[in-house]
């Protein structure tokens, strides 16, 4: 999820400003993977992502923003699409690269700050955000959305799967539908095409936590 960890002893945030989630937790994203499987790391791609893939939703070059240990990115790679997964958690990226090698899949994984994706100097036709957007506070959302716009051209598609504030047994950082609508607007370079209710599987939800799956067009 959102920069390079660098020297974890001297600066666990690698010179970048910690995200709101990291400031609240008091530790970097990477620590979640060092301690064992992260709560959101189920060892398989999210069912919503599998469904989008089966429906042909991923096309061209694909970016997985906040890829974690790579299960979603590797599922997309199985379709024969070029995919880049980015994250700030070096431990997760190392695991993702090992999975790709072990499965004989072509997928790239790069340490990068989701708030500064323009530094990648690449453009993508499809972007997946699975569980990243909802971790940003209101002040971080605008630069993140601008960062996504910097690596996409008009006509690109963004899929956002985030925790919803509707229903029982909510996940952390749940978002209201109005927050999605307010964030992705033509002024910011995006237009929401559809939002449906879905689920996000975690290690602590028997049947997944309530979620929104948004399909968003780059304009």
The pLDDT tens digits for 160-204 are 999 999 999 999 999 999 999 999 999 999 999 999 999 999 999
pLDDT band at 20 (very low <50, low <70, confident <90, very high): confident
Mean pLDDT within 18-45: 83
* pLDDT reported for residue 208: 96
* pLDDT reported for residue 32: 86
**214, β-bridge pairs:** 160, 195
Neighbours of 47 (CB within 10 A): 15
Q: 30-44, 100-114, 142-156, 197-211: lowest mean pLDDT where?
A: 30-44
- Which tokens hold the place of 188? 């910011």
Mean pLDDT within 5-17: 61
Helices (H), 26-162: 30-34, 47-54, 71-77, 90-103, 138-149
Residue 4 has pLDDT above 80, yes or no: no
Task: Give the CB-side neighbour count of residue 3, counting CA atoms within 13 A.
Answer: 20
**110, β-bridge pairs:** 86
* CB distance 141 to 103 below 8 Å: no
Residue 210 has pLDDT above 90, yes or no: yes
Q: 28-42, 148-162, 182-196: lowest mean pLDDT where?
A: 28-42
Residue 115 has pLDDT above 60, yes or no: yes
Residue 86 has pLDDT above 90, yes or no: yes
* CB distance 30 to 36 below 8 Å: no
Strand ranges (DSSP E) for the chain? Answer: 62-65, 83-87, 108-111, 124-130, 152-163, 190-202, 205-218
Torsion sign over Cα 128, 169, 184, 21: negative
Residue 144 has pLDDT above 90, yes or no: yes
How confident is the prediction for the chain on average, in pLDDT?
92
pLDDT band at 9 (very low <50, low <70, confident <90, very high): low
- Which tokens hold the place of 121? 């100097």
Distance, CA of 123 to CA of 60 (rounded, Å): 10
Distance, CA of 12 to CA of 34 (rounded, Å): 12
Distance, CA of 211 to CA of 3 (rounded, Å): 26
């Amino acid at each position: 999820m959102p920069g390079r960890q660098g020297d974890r002893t001297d600066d666990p945030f690698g010179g970048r400003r910690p995200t709101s989630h990291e400031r609240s937790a008091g530790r970097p994203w990477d620590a979640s993977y060092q301690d064992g499987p992260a709560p959101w790391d189920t060892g398989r791609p999210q069912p919503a992502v599998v469904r989008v893939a089966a429906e042909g939703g991923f096309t061209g070059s694909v970016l997985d923003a906040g890829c974690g240990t790579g299960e979603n990115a590797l599922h997309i790679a199985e379709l024969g699409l070029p995919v880049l997964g980015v994250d700030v958690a070096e431990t997760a990226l190392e695991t993702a690269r090992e999975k790709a090698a072990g499965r004989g899949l072509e997928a790239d994984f790069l340490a990068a700050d989701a708030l500064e994706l323009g530094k990648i100097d690449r453009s993508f036709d499809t972007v997946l955000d699975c569980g990243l957007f909802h971790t940003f506070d209101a002040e971080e959302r605008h630069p993140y959305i601008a960062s996504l716009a910097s690596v996409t051209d008009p006509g690109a598609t963004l899929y956002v799967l985030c925790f919803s504030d509707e229903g029982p047994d909510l996940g952390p950082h749940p978002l209201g539908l109005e927050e999605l609508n307010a964030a992705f607007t033509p002024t910011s370079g995006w237009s929401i095409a559809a939002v449906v209710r879905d689920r996000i599987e975690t290690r602590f939800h028997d049947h997944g936590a309530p979620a929104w799956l948004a399909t968003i067009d780059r304009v």
